[in-house]
Amino acid sequence: MSNFSNNHRALIEIRGMKKIYDLGSVQVNALNGVDVDIHENEYVSIMGPSGSGKSTLMNLIGCLDTPSTGEYYLANERVAGLSDAKLAEIRNRRIGFVFQTFNLLPRASALQNVELPLVYAGESPSQRRRRAKEALEAVGLTDRMKHKPNELSGGQRQRVAVARALVTNPSIILADEPTGNLDSKTGAEIMELLDRIHNEGNTIVLVTHEEEIAQHSQRIIRLLDGKIESDRRTTSV
């Protein structure tokens, strides 16, 4: 198994991935045979109209779901067919989520929110605190650590979410419409932050429907009807 795994060089390797939702009378092919490689320190956008399967692909990459058929290797680890508990562990170690709606715990402070993934990683309280503080400093929120989400602006909330995504040193940052709930100026600031994180060596997968946002990445994968329509490098790079 380990020999076989070592043959997979890309950070993300997806082969013939299908996702079929059984809605009783109808079966919906949300993904209908997708092959993708994403390498370390790549900056990739996934685009496509609604219903194209981009959310499904993102959920599968984020290990929130498992494919109906096909293979998925994340950092040489076979994800397809893993147990619930194992998937949770991979999400914890390998993936940093940034959501459109921030998804912070409303009653917890910025610091506690950033500490949360480390709680599930089993870190000691002092270690958690230290690493969460570092992550918040890295996104420029040194003086907002004790604030609750409702005491922060939209941009600040998304920075907390980015810090939370970064704090476990994940293999990939998975950002789902990260600027969707922000005004253009704040959105631009968040994109600058993501660019910087990429430049520091992180791998980023961005799901967006905005062309302008997608132009921040090095590569755009366009989906249509559950299949890859195009996969090319962006012009700006």
Partner 1 sequence: MALESLRAHKMRAFLTLIGVVIGVSTIITMMTVLGGIKYTIDDAMRNALGVNVFQVQKDEQQTGFTIGRRRHEWRPRIEARYADAIRDRCPSVRAVGAETWTGGRTFVRGGIESDPNQQVAGGTIEFGENNSMYIARGRPITYQDVLSARRVIVIGNDPYEQLFKYMDPIGQNIRIDGQQFEVIGVFEERGSLLGNSQDSYSWIPLSTFERIWGDWRDINLTIQAYSADVYESAQQEVIEALRVERGLMPGQPNNFGLWTPDLLQYQFNQQTGWIGVAAFGICGVSLLVAGIGIMNIMLVSVTERTREIGIRKALGGTRTSILRQFLIEAIMLSEVGGAIGIFLGYGVAIAINQNLNFPAPVPVWAVFLAVIFCSVVGIGFGMWPAIKAARLDPIEALRHE
User: Residue 62, interface with partner 1 (CB under 8 A)?
Assistant: yes
Of the candidate spans 35-43, 97-105, 141-149, 195-203, the one that interacts with partner 1 by CB under 8 A turns out to be 97-105
User: Residue 67, interface with partner 1 (CB under 8 A)?
Assistant: no
CB of 90 to partner 1, least distance (A): 8
Contact 107, 150 (CB under 8 A): no
If the CB atoms of residues 35 and 65 are measured against partner 1, the closer one turns out to be 65
If the CB atoms of residues 156 and 220 are measured against partner 1, the closer one turns out to be 156
User: Residue 121, interface with partner 1 (CB under 8 A)?
Assistant: yes
The correct pick among 64, 82, 188, 224 for binding partner 1 (CB under 8 A) is 64
CB of 93 to partner 1, least distance (A): 7
In Å, how far are 2, 41, 58, 96, 176 from 173, measured between CA atoms? 25, 10, 11, 5, 10
Q: CA 127, 83, 99: angle at the middle one, nearest 5? A: 55
If the CB atoms of residues 147 and 219 are measured against partner 1, the closer one turns out to be 147
CB of 161 to partner 1, least distance (A): 10
Q: Residues 6 or more apart from 229 whose CB is under 8 A from it?
A: 48, 222, 223
The correct pick among 82, 88, 188, 224 for binding partner 1 (CB under 8 A) is 88
Contact 219, 207 (CB under 8 A): no
Q: Residues 6 or more apart from 221 whose CB is under 8 A from it?
A: 36, 44, 45, 46, 47, 228, 230, 231
Question: Residues 120, 165, 111, 135: is their CA dihedral positive or negative?
Answer: positive
Residues at the contact surface with partner 1, assessed by CB under 8 A: 59, 62, 64-65, 84-85, 88-89, 91-93, 97, 99, 103-105, 107-108, 116-117, 120-121, 164, 168
